Amino acid sequence: MSDQETAELLRINRRLLDCVTAGDWVTYDSLCDPSLSAFEPEARGHLVEGMEFHRFYLDRQGQQSQALPQNTTISSPHVRIMGDVAIVSYIRLMQRTDERGQATTERFEETRVWQRQEGRWKHVHLHRSANA
């Protein structure tokens, strides 16, 4: 694993998180494989497959992101590349300002699996755990 590959994956992963924060469906869709699978708190313990589940939230996030300030910090990133597959794990800190002007921080433990397809990294699986 080269430092250059690690840096590229962290950059692409950051781009993915930025488009989630902005509610940018077009960019999110371009970075993900159509068969994306996920375990995340919103799915209530169920494995979600495909993109429609995510589109629902990104469409609403786009409306909210313009109204309320927010920031995402990636803490303690770890990258493991295994041929054409990479695992990127980290703590995601999401700072937001609510409707009353109060700042809050949410913490998530995330693991994202990327697969090199036709020379480009595509996001193929997500596991996100909320951690109070």
Tens digits of per-residue pLDDT, 94-110?
998 877 888 999 999 99
Each residue of 33-74: pLDDT tens digit? 999 999 999 899 899 999 999 988 888 775 555 566 788 999
pTM recorded for the entire structure = 0.90
CATH of the domain spanning 3-130, picked from 3.40.50.300, 3.10.450.50, 3.30.9.60, 3.30.420.40: 3.10.450.50
Q: Are 32 and 125 in contact (CB under 8 A)?
A: no
Q: How confident is the model at residue 11 (pLDDT cuts 50, 70, 90)?
A: very high
- Domain residue extents for the chain: 3-130
Give the pLDDT score at 113.
Answer: 98
